[in-house]
């Protein structure tokens, strides 16, 4: 049985028993943890500045000179494919006086040029142009600061520490096998970015990990075809894969009346700490990056849409329509709600928020964050942080 067939079988079973996969018990976390500046600083220092981050999909930069640039945790990044075909990640900072060397989120350039004094760098980060160099003086062999990076399963991972190292086998803990099944290299990016303002990054992350709200908050939009609260949850170290059941899955017979996977289920791969890959097992995919802002109460979501076929002709209009649809859903439903939560944090004060047994992915996120900010960076590799019971076993335990 293939991985997807196994997930369909598990989802069908959860629908039949009326329960999702579940954690062992509910979990409380202090509401103040979302707005604590010291905790935020620890998250940026112990998580974002240390762990391998999924900074791009390789298909976002398919040709030499293609790049994607954005800021994360106080670092401006540019991911670019070199003329040698290698994808590299650099700090988007000119080595002269620190201005950015890109002028767009997505672009193509054979030279990355600083607007301040027109210093220029080639696609491998080498400094290749300094106007008036004779009058400037000795420069030395400097180029853009390259960050350690590696491509795995069609995804580009990098660490924000230029002197750091990447151990993707240990970090992904098997997630790369699930990502491989998405065939990410076959996608084409619709290179029109969507930026959506949001409050604290963890409030936004909670939404991407929550299978419980789909049929309620999104009942008139993307949740109209979903069977709410029957999810599967699989953990790979700090990462999570969530299965969502669509209406009609209980009528699916893989032998007698097989249906395309996209009609009966959907997947979300949440790559810790900040990337959601929605879909991918059929013809489309949406990638969302949660970008912490300069303060604890600010973040931005950066989204892109992907398709199996080149985005040209009528598909351009379809891609733009889908981009606008999801922009509206995330902005007007998800972010509007979490802004209200963020505004209420002071009123909650010393109170707690509660994550139920049916929210194991959220429990996993906050347990992982707590351990990382306490310096326990490898504890997750030894044991599962949250044990999610299948709907069937949960039903037996409650009988």
Q: What is the three-class DSSP state of 90?
A: strand
Residues 333, 196 contacting (CB under 8 angstroms): no
> Could you tell me the pLDDT band of residue 12, with boundaries at 50, 70 and 90?
very high
- Residue 61 lies inside a defined structural domain of this protein: yes
Q: Are 225 and 304 in the same domain?
A: yes
Instruction: State how far the alpha carbon of 319 is from the alpha carbons of 243, 268, 398, in Å.
Output: 24, 20, 46
The answer to whether position 399 is within a domain reads no
What pLDDT sits at residue 222? 86
Stronger pLDDT, 231 or 396, i.e. the higher one: 231
Number of structural domains, the chain?
A: 2
Supply the mean pLDDT for the chain: 92
Confidence at residue 398, expressed as pLDDT on a 0 to 100 scale: 44
Token digits of residue 355 = 């994550």
Q: How far apart are CA 377 and CA 357, in angstroms?
A: 25
Phi, psi for 96 (deg, rounded to 5): -85, -65
Same domain, 208 and 291: yes
Q: Domain boundary at 143, 166, 189, which?
A: 166
Question: How much is the pLDDT for 260?
Answer: 78
Same domain for 62 and 41: no
Mean pLDDT in residue range 69-85: 96
Is position 125 within any domain? yes
- Rounded Cα distance between 362 and 356, Å, is 9
Residues 219 and 302 in one domain: yes
Which pLDDT band, with edges at 50, 70 and 90, does 263 fall under? confident
pLDDT digits (tens, 9 = 90+) for 133-157: 989 999 887 999 999 999 999 999 9
Do residues 86 and 76 make contact, with C-beta atoms less than 8 angstroms apart?
no
The mean per-residue pLDDT over the stretch 380-399 comes to 49
Residue range 222-235: mean pLDDT, rounded: 93
What one-character-per-residue DSSP string does 43-69 give? HIIIIITTSPEEEEEGGGS-STTEEEE
Specify whether 320 is located in the same domain as 191.
yes
Phi-psi region of 22 (alpha: psi -120 to 50; beta: other; left: phi over 0): beta
Q: Is residue 398 situated within a structural domain?
A: no
User: Is 356 a member of any domain?
Assistant: yes
pLDDT digits (tens, 9 = 90+) for 30-42: 999 999 999 999 9
* Cα 147 to Cα 120: distance, rounded to the nearest angstrom: 19
Residues 48 and 59 in one domain: no
Task: Give the pLDDT confidence score for residue 383 in this predicted structure.
Answer: 43
| Alpha-carbon span 360 to 50, nearest angstrom | 25
Report residue 99's pLDDT band, with 50, 70 and 90 as the boundaries. Answer: very high
Domain check: are 148 and 65 in the same one? yes
Express as a percent the part of the chain with pLDDT over 70: 92
What are the pLDDT digits (tens) for 164-195? 999 999 999 999 999 999 999 999 999 999 99
Six-digit token string for 148: 């350690």
The answer to whether 59 and 84 are in contact (CB under 8 A) is: no
Per-residue pLDDT tens for 286-316?
Answer: 999 999 999 999 999 999 999 999 999 999 9
Report the phi/psi class of residue 154: left, alpha or beta, with left for phi > 0 and alpha for psi in -120 to 50.
Answer: left
Q: Select from 166, 181, 211 the last residue of a domain.
A: 166
* 130 close to 119: Cβ distance less than 8 angstroms: yes
Nearest to residue 46, comparing CAs of 333, 369, 363, 270? 369
**Band (387; pLDDT cuts 50, 70, 90):** low
- On whether both 260 and 372 belong to a single domain, the answer is yes
Give the separation between CA 342 and CA 40, rounded to whole angstroms. Answer: 14
Looking at per-residue confidence, does 253 or 280 come out higher?
280
Q: Are 386 and 378 in contact (CB under 8 A)?
A: no
Cα separation, 156 vs 327, in Å, equals 24
CATH number at residue 356: 3.90.380.10
Give the per-residue pLDDT at 45: 95
pLDDT band at 257, cuts 50/70/90? low
Is a pLDDT exceeding 70 seen at residue 396?
no
Bigger pLDDT: 341 or 252? 341
Q: Does residue 83 lie within any of the structural domains?
A: yes
Q: Is 272 helix (H, G, I), strand (E, B) or coil?
A: coil
Give domain status of residue 320, yes or no.
Answer: yes
Q: What is the rounded average pLDDT of the residues 12-17?
A: 94
Question: Do residues 305 and 354 both lie within one domain?
Answer: yes
Contact (CB, 8 A) for 201 and 290: yes
Tokens representing residue 28 in the block: 């409380």
Residues 119 and 252 in one domain: no
Residue where a domain terminates, one of 166, 189, 215: 166
CATH number of residue 94's parent domain: 2.102.10.10
Same domain flag for 27 and 79: no
Domain that includes residue 236, residue range:
1-52+173-393
Mean pLDDT for the stretch of residues 211-231: 92
- Indicate whether 69 belongs to any domain: yes
Percent of the chain with pLDDT over 90: 83
State the average pLDDT over residues 60-72.
97
Q: What is the 3-state secondary structure (H, E, C) of 127-196?
A: EEECCCHHHHCCCCCCECCEECEEEECCEEEECCCCCCCCCHHHHHCCHHHHHHCCCHHHCEEEEEEEEE
**Cα 222 to the chain's mean position, in Å?**
19
Kindly give, in sequence order, each residue whose CB lies less than 8 Å from that of residue 195, ignoring residues fewer than 6 positions away.
Answer: 105, 300, 301, 302
Average pLDDT over residues 231-253: 91
Greater confidence (393 vs 278) lies with: 278
How far apart CA 196 and CA 336 sit, in angstroms, is 11
Please tell me whether residues 62 and 128 are part of one structural domain.
yes
Task: Give residue 150's pLDDT.
Answer: 97
């Amino acid at each position: 049985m293939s991985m997807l067939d196994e997930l369909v079988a598990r989802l069908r079973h959860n629908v039949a028993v009326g329960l999702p996969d579940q954690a062992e018990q509910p979990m409380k976390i202090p509401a103040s943890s979302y707005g604590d500046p010291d905790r935020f600083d620890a998250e940026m220092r112990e998580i974002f500045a240390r762990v391998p981050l999924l900074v791009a999909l390789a298909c976002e930069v398919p040709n030499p000179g293609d790049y994607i640039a954005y800021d994360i945790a106080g670092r401006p990044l540019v991911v670019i494919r070199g003329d040698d075909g290698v994808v590299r990640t650099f700090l988007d900072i000119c080595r002269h006086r620190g201005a950015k060397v890109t002028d767009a989120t997505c672009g193509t350039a054979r030279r990355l040029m600083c607007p301040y004094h027109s210093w220029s760098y080639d696609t491998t980060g080498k400094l290749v142009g300094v106007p008036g160099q004779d009058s400037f003086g000795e420069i030395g062999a400097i180029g853009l600061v390259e960050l350690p990076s590696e491509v795995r399963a069609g995804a580009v991972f990098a660490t924000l520490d230029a002197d750091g190292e990447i151990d993707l086998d240990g970090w992904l803990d098997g997630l790369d096998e699930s990502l491989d099944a998405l065939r990410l290299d076959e996608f084409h990016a619709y290179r029109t970015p969507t930026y959506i303002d949001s409050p604290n990054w963890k409030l936004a992350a909670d939404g991407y990990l929550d299978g419980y709200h789909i049929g309620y908050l999104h009942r008139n939009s993307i949740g109209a075809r979903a069977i709410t609260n029957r999810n599967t949850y699989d953990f790979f170290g700090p990462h999570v894969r969530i299965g969502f059941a669509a209406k009609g899955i209980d009528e699916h017979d893989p032998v007698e009346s097989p249906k395309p996977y996209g009609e009966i289920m959907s997947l979300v791969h949440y790559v810790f700490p900040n990337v959601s890959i929605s879909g991918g097992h059929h013809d489309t995919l949406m990638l969302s990056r949660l970008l912490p802002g300069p303060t604890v109460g600010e973040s931005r979501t950066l989204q892109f849409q992907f398709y199996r076929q080149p985005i040209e002709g009528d598909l351009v209009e379809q891609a733009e329509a889908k981009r606008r649809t999801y922009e509206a859903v995330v902005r007007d439903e998800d972010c509007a709600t979490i802004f209200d939560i963020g505004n209420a944090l002071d009123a909650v004060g010393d109170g707690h928020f509660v994550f139920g047994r049916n929210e194991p992915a959220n429990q996993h996120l906050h347990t992982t964050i707590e351990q990382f900010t306490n310096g326990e960076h490898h504890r997750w590799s030894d044991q599962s942080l949250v044990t999610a019971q299948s709907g069937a076993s949960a039903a037996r335990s409650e009988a």
